[in-house]
Structure 1
Amino acid sequence: MSFEKIRDIIVEQLNVEPSMVTMDTNLMKDLEADSLDAVEIIMAIEEEFDIEIPDEEAENFQVVSDLVGFVDDNIE
């Protein structure tokens, strides 16, 4: 499942404990990510899964499950 890879990216980018990242974790509220952190996470996910995430979509991502759902819907 893509959750583990996405969790690892978030853990690395934000320097948080893996246990802090669940499907319901809000990147901004729970992990205190700022807009630059969010961009770096999106770029790392795009690279990891070889997909492109449109800016309009990325703006709607709030919780980890939003990211996982998009990736799962867009990888082959």
Structure 2
Amino acid sequence: MSEVQQGIEERVKRIITEQFIVDGLEPPSIASENRFDHDLGFDSLDCVEVTMCVEDEFDIYIDDTEMRGIETVQKLIDTVRAKI
């Protein structure tokens, strides 16, 4: 994995971790295979907030249709990589 790709993964995982802190929860260790709903317990609002933070962080746009298809941390990372 290149340094740039690794940096993207780390930044996405940091954003997800920060969402737990915003919600007042202790953040778990975030793994690429984690599902937002089942493994991380995110509801739709959490997913929207994470997506908005990712869009701001990477200066990209993820439309609603795409967002609904992002079920895992890895899929979010892959989406970011495809857009930058």
Report the TM-score, using the length of structure 2 for normalisation. Answer: 0.83
Cα separation, 2, equivalents of 1:65 and 1:40: 17
Count of equivalent residues: 73
Gaps of 5+ in 2: 1-5, 22-26
2:39 maps to what in 1?
30
- Between the aligned partners of 1:72 and 1:32, the Cα distance in structure 2 is 24
Unaligned runs of 5+ in 1: none
What is the RMSD of the two structures over their aligned residues, measured on CA atoms? Answer: 0.8
2:10 maps to: 4
- 2 CA distance for matches of 1:64 and 1:43? 15
Structure 2: how far apart are the matches of 1:70 and 1:37? 18
Answer with 1 or 2: which has the greater Rg.
Answer: 2
Residue identity over aligned pairs, in percent, reads 37
Counterpart contact for 1:14–1:33, Cα < 8 Å: no
SS at match of 1:4: helix
> What TM-score do the two structures reach when normalised by structure 1?
0.91
Partner of 1:66: 75
